[in-house]
Structure 1
Amino acid sequence: MPEPAFDYQRCLLACAAGDRRALRELYQQESARLLGVALRIAREPAVAEDIVHDAFVRIWTHAASFDPDRGSARGWIYSVTRHLALNFVRDGARQVPLDEQHDEALQASAQWQPVDFTAQAHSARIYHCLEQLEPARRDCILHAYVDGCTHAEIAQRMSTPLGTVKAWIKRSLAALRECMG
């Protein structure tokens, strides 16, 4: 018998009402994956842990600002974490690239589990919608939201003008919203 889907929206609404159990449920459900997102962006385990902590504080204190008309509850949670991590990087904080030894140690850690974005994408409607995008535009979205790259980093990786990358991301997000809606 399949496990019932986790109700992120219910948890956020409960957090907004002051229900600490709901925050604990969210933490148990997503903390390991959010740590993976923060680590991909910040590239430093201790910093990534701090980002996830700060993200859950922000989720708790700003849960009432979640608007289901603007997107999914799970997406909002990931957006909070991603923005905190990107702000850390943009504020000029020190980045430490992971070498093989550190990467192996992280993967062996019981506290950190790598995120299998491929499996998640295949199980979600978003996969179908992403497939509808032109490959270059899909790559921009994936670099931004999976790899945690800034627009400038994407432009450099893809050898594409920054304005073009920004336009592709904006139009692609609109297309994804329409496809998902």
Structure 2
Amino acid sequence: MATRDDLEVWLARTAQGDRAAFGALYRNTSAKLFGLTWRILKDRGEAEEALQEIYVKVWHGAGRYRVNGYSPMTWLITVARNHAIDRLRRRRAGEVVLDEAIQVADARPGPEAAAVARSERGRIEACFEELDGQRADAVRRAYLDGETYAELAERFAVPLNTMRTWLRRSLLKLRECLER
């Protein structure tokens, strides 16, 4: 798993035209950005096309990302989200009024998907219950809130390598639980 520092280095090197850094950035971020675009556009083919366009924007605009305390993943997600919403608005031009355009970004799942999600969420929460309280909190903060290893280590007052071990072992326990 790439760290915030890795992402910042890859973005800086991408801004300088480094294709290998861009490839590493793509490999480590494209799944998350694809999921976001698919959720907004609700069409796999269009989401794939949008993802290509997003990475073209990242290639050309990586120099605009500055190390300013904000997560590089947040910057990438913002680029992807804005692009997907712009694409959706272009697709639906003339169909929606301004109030409806705001609702487009909501992209809530339908009843069937919501039922499946509730069931999966219940399984995941049950598995989280098997983890130590601090470790479960650390996993949530890392993978749902986007906190870095360094931020988590500081928050829980443990060495950085200890935090990495917590997260790795916790993810293994979660996977084992979910496979049962």
What is the TM-score with the length of structure 1 in the denominator? 0.51
1:11 counterpart residue number: 10
Query: Does 1:50 find its partner at 2:68?
Result: no
1:123 counterpart residue number: 141
For the residues of structure 2 that align with 1:18 and 1:126, how far apart are their CA atoms?
A: 31
* Residues 9 and 74 in structure 1, CA contact (< 8 A), matched pair in contact too: no
For the residues of structure 1 that align with 2:31 and 2:53, how far apart are their CA atoms?
A: 14
Q: Gaps spanning 5+ residues in structure 2: where?
A: 94-103, 114-123, 129-135, 148-180
Percent identity between the aligned chains? Answer: 25
* Residues 2 and 28 in structure 2, CA contact (< 8 A), matched pair in contact too: no
Shift in Å, 1:12: 0.4
1:71 counterpart residue number: 70
Aligned runs of 1:8-47 on 2, under 5 Å? Answer: 8-47=7-46
For the residues of structure 1 that align with 2:33 and 2:21, how far apart are their CA atoms?
A: 17
Segments of 4+ moved more than 4 angstroms: 97-101, 118-121, 125-129
Name the count of aligned residue pairs.
112
Q: Gaps spanning 5+ residues in structure 1: where?
A: 104-115, 130-181
Shift in Å, 1:5: 2.7
SS in 2 for 1:71: coil
* Residues 7 and 72 in structure 2, CA contact (< 8 A), matched pair in contact too: yes
For the residues of structure 2 that align with 1:68 and 1:5, how far apart are their CA atoms?
A: 14
**Equivalent residue letter for 1:19:** D
Shift in Å, 1:124: 2.5
1:140 counterpart residue number: none
Cα-to-partner distance string for 1:12-39 (whole Å, 9 max, x where unaligned): 0000011001110011111111111000
Cα-to-partner distance string for 1:146-167 (whole Å, 9 max, x where unaligned): xxxxxxxxxxxxxxxxxxxxxx
* Residues 15 and 23 in structure 1, CA contact (< 8 A), matched pair in contact too: yes
RMSD, aligned α-carbons: 3.7
SS in 2 for 1:69: coil
